Structure 1
């Protein structure tokens, strides 16, 4: 029997009629379809209508690139408006990681075109690995015209390479005033963790020392940017707009270029420092430190060989010895001893018979000569150790410390430069705190001649002796005129570089006259230790200091040598009372203080002659010995008129 034809279609009943779906199921299916359509329509509406602006911005980002316009730093001038630090136009190469599919594949070509070793590029990439991907990575500064041409010729192959016009620092050559001015460099990771650099980004250029660091926020300026239309290969097609950069503010320093040049020349080939101050105001007229460094090397293309040479130099070229060298002051400290002795009423009637030294507490302390009868009037020009041994023993360490501290020793002066050192002024409390030991009376004897535990910096000594010669009035040293910055910025500088500040100590007119006349005899009388440095027609006063770097026993075991010679100090001024300039000289291993006196005389002579010529309406123009700009397009320049300061 054949099957019924209707049995193969279950939707049909035995009579051939279609079976209908229940109405409830049909309505449910319709609701589901309608809901799905509603969801799709809503999604499309959100994407195409509500999200239109967002996607339009994303689309614009694919074709518009914000190119930064770096603000040039403010220039730096001396007190008379003569240029010390300038800028020059340069081109740098950056890598845009967003434009690169695989940077590693392009490294060989980039290395050849930019003349950078592959391992150096890889090190740069690792350094910026944690930085946001949109942040450009600086590959090379001061690129050559050939390297610029390479980048332009390979736009399609290397869309990740971009050039940027920048202004780079141009410093004086041969390290002229390098420690004072400082240098700029890329902000470090450690600095970025400091709240002071909260608004800086990796790769930003900031001041790293000297004036550049202290006044970075003033010199820095505000960067701008321009919107550039680019294609998928990063090629520039046009401009949409531009926000101009705001240059940094220029700064006028208190430095006198003529005095600075005299200091640099005097210190050439030596290890040490010279600092010149105007005691009336605290203005720093000159500050030189040797050995020095070339800040131009740091600001653009510091090489490993140059850096290693600095690190391996035992004389520490990066140290600003004018504010950081902490050494025994030798006999220059006798001026502070004289203040203490006279103000305490001890030194006026003290008489000593110097027979080449004296014994205290069972030990003989030598003097370099047999001076015979010595009093306060000839003890300073003689620089008689025996007199000041005796004075120290009578005063005691705490009385000496009281006057030394009042004159700014063992504390920062507050000069507006980073990393100033404090020095040390020993006392009973100091030794108990530092060594957990009592002070012994015998230790006071060496302190009386500026030896033992006492240490000072050249700027401390210049300020202290200049303050004494000014009748006890001391001012905070500074290298930038206060009116060059806003009151808020000036207050921030004073808070950051706190020190003893402006102060006045009691100093009777009689004692002031005794001390200043005695200092004038140091250079102006044949009995003075610095008579060989006297200046005809100039009221030149001062005090020498010869500070041993090791004991006599250690010296005899060492076998001698240049590094065993004493440090030579001198602090000089003109005129002797209420001086217009005070000069402190530290010549490490310079042997005798009168050697440093000759260096100070050169600076004093340059200052006085300039003032006299100016009074006669005769003015010699000086120019800072700026370095020659690198030979790059639009960056070459003729050398300046003056020879290098080292000559």
Structure 2
């Protein structure tokens, strides 16, 4: 009888899988296949464009092409700021294979500390890894050769040709022009003006470069290059051309600027020359100065330390930021107030070296004897203006000072203009929570005490008075170059008193301007007299410490008074005004001598130009044919014409 395995062994050894487990295993397999299919679909269909772009990014690199900034010219088209070709070195973090080995090589080849490279990498660590990071700007030919020779060992290095700023030497017009620099993370975080910029972008940081940055900087372009797996460039795909920035023509006259620079050389202070008819700034100097070329690449620590440690603050544009007591230049504003209020016409004082007010004696520099409004200006008699200030009161003085632009910004198109101070009862109550005392008004009458002003404010105020009460808004860029919308935006960013007119009767105008002309003829600035030129102005000697304290000191340089002068030609409706601040220059007539150099240069140039124009406009007689054998006769040359607009 045949037996089966079951019967033979007595046991059924066939293992059967439970139906539930079989179904579960099938579901798992189906789910895994489904997930794989969905993943493949996402990769190949949904993510196709994205991964294609990533693959292209690994093969194609977009290299920025920086737009050259617009050049800057003077009013006659002579170049002041240019660009020069430069090569900079960048690093690609994604290409760094062994930082411990490669960074020391880079530091040695580029002659920079390795700590500087590490600091730069840390600064840009939040940026995309494929973005080139600048590690050294304006590299030398030797450093460029190092990069080219180590392409294989250091694929993370690449060079880029750029245009960089070339400023005049020796800090010429540095405060007016300004400088460019990289956008820092702090600027991005704290200043809305840089919201659309990225770290490392080069922007204007001061002066004209900052105010007109959007005009000067242009639009950057880019180049698409093909790279291999090692990051080495193997071809080009195309490029987007950079759009250069717009050139700008300034109101500055280089000839006058040079004279002003020489006049203030070795001194501390500022000079402003302006056309009162238009508000155009013809020259602007501030001393000490700085070298903007140091800022246009990467500022060295040693140079920055020297700037910061200089007690005379080289970065301060003293023409618009030095807030100092104006001294006796303020007496012109006092004269306007006294005459317009009817307080000065018949006022006469007997100056015996000073006068007493409210129990205190206020000194004068001399015993002037009998003084009225006609000789008070050329003599600069303190006693007269003490008395006038006491008659007018502080609030009347403040009202007239504000009317000619003191205590408010002029609105000049340069960054960080300061306001100055015009004291009043309300001002003291608001700032010091105290009452104004009548005795405090006496010192204000001679431009001392709490009153402060800037050179640009005084230039505009006194030239406006000499122009019959017409004050123009100062500006440093010639009009008509920029579209109206940009111009309006700039005006809104630099609020000030703008163009305005004050009330000044013809009789009072004549009295004041004649008095200012007498200052340079027989008065306190007689040493600066210019023969044959209608040169008017007002000196100012502003103490930095009181007479008693000065007598107790060793009379060191820093204790000497600040020397002011504001001068113009001609005396009425002037064509130029020059304000000079010479810090610790001792006497106002010292500053008057500096101003006279600029006035003389201006008049000489205008006369030459006027002569050339008149000669060119003179019709020449038609040449007559010479008789046979006769000698040719020279053409008639008009005699040299002498303009009279600047003469007495």
Common fold by TM > 0.5: yes
**In 2: Cα distance, 1:210 partner to 1:331 partner:** 30
- Retained in 2: the 8 A contact 1:155–1:234? no
2:63 equivalent among 64, 67, 78? 67
**In 2: Cα distance, 1:160 partner to 1:35 partner:** 45
| Structure 2, gaps ≥5 residues long | 615-648
**In 1: Cα distance, 2:465 partner to 2:290 partner:** 34
- 1:597 and 2:582 matched: no
**In 2: Cα distance, 1:267 partner to 1:373 partner:** 37
- 1:409 and 2:406 matched: yes
**In 2: Cα distance, 1:287 partner to 1:7 partner:** 121
2:575 equivalent among 577, 580, 586? 580
Residue equivalent to 1:642: none
Aligned length in residues: 612
Q: 1:5 to 1:324 in 2, by over 3 A?
A: same
Q: 1:227 to 1:390 in 2, by over 3 A?
A: same
- 1:532 and 2:527 matched: yes
How far off is 1:46 after superposition?
Answer: 3.6
- 1:78 and 2:86 matched: no
2:317 equivalent among 316, 320, 324? 320
- 1:561 and 2:561 matched: no
- The correspondence of residues 223-242 of structure 1 with structure 2, limited to 5 A, is 223-242=220-239
Residue equivalent to 1:645: none
Residue equivalent to 1:510: 507
- 1:184 and 2:180 matched: yes
Q: TM-score, normalised by structure 1?
A: 0.91
Helix, strand or coil for the counterpart of 2:40?
helix
Helix, strand or coil for the counterpart of 1:85?
strand
Higher mean alpha-carbon deviation, 44-53 vs 497-506, is at 44-53
Measured against aligned partners, the alpha-carbon deviations of 1:489-541 in whole angstroms (never above 9, x if no partner) come to: 111111111111111010000000000011011112x2x11111111111110
How far off is 1:124 after superposition?
Answer: 2.0
Helix, strand or coil for the counterpart of 1:483?
coil
- Retained in 2: the 8 A contact 1:382–1:529? yes
Measured against aligned partners, the alpha-carbon deviations of 1:422-461 in whole angstroms (never above 9, x if no partner) come to: 1111111111111111111111111111111111000000
Measured against aligned partners, the alpha-carbon deviations of 1:52-110 in whole angstroms (never above 9, x if no partner) come to: 33222221111110000001111111111110100001011111111113434322111
- The correspondence of residues 336-375 of structure 1 with structure 2, limited to 5 A, is 336-375=333-372
Q: 1:28 to 1:333 in 2, by over 3 A?
A: closer
**In 1: Cα distance, 2:292 partner to 2:177 partner:** 9
Q: 1:33 to 1:78 in 2, by over 3 A?
A: same
Helix, strand or coil for the counterpart of 1:294?
coil
- 1:43 and 2:11 matched: no
How far off is 1:25 after superposition?
Answer: 8.3
- Retained in 2: the 8 A contact 1:522–1:543? yes
Measured against aligned partners, the alpha-carbon deviations of 1:218-266 in whole angstroms (never above 9, x if no partner) come to: 1111111011001122211000010001111111111111111111111
**In 2: Cα distance, 1:10 partner to 1:517 partner:** 143
Higher mean alpha-carbon deviation, 64-73 vs 350-359, is at 350-359
Residue equivalent to 1:157: 153
**In 1: Cα distance, 2:274 partner to 2:76 partner:** 16
**In 1: Cα distance, 2:184 partner to 2:283 partner:** 30
Q: 1:521 to 1:27 in 2, by over 3 A?
A: closer
How far off is 1:192 after superposition?
Answer: 0.8
Q: 1:393 to 1:35 in 2, by over 3 A?
A: closer
**In 1: Cα distance, 2:445 partner to 2:37 partner:** 95
Measured against aligned partners, the alpha-carbon deviations of 1:147-191 in whole angstroms (never above 9, x if no partner) come to: 111111212221111111111000010000000000000112222
**In 2: Cα distance, 1:266 partner to 1:22 partner:** 108
Q: 1:337 to 1:31 in 2, by over 3 A?
A: closer
- 1:252 and 2:245 matched: no
Q: 1:240 to 1:370 in 2, by over 3 A?
A: same
**In 1: Cα distance, 2:242 partner to 2:353 partner:** 70
- The CA RMSD over aligned residues, in Å, is 2.3
**In 1: Cα distance, 2:10 partner to 2:282 partner:** 112
Residue equivalent to 2:617: none
- 1:107 and 2:106 matched: no
**In 2: Cα distance, 1:9 partner to 1:597 partner:** 133
- 1:284 and 2:289 matched: no
Q: 1:583 to 1:6 in 2, by over 3 A?
A: same
Measured against aligned partners, the alpha-carbon deviations of 1:244-297 in whole angstroms (never above 9, x if no partner) come to: 011111111111111111111111111000001111111111100001000001
The structure with higher relative contact order (CA 8 Å, sep 6+) is 1
Residue equivalent to 1:570: 565
1:551 equivalent among 542, 546, 551? 546
Q: 1:7 to 1:71 in 2, by over 3 A?
A: farther
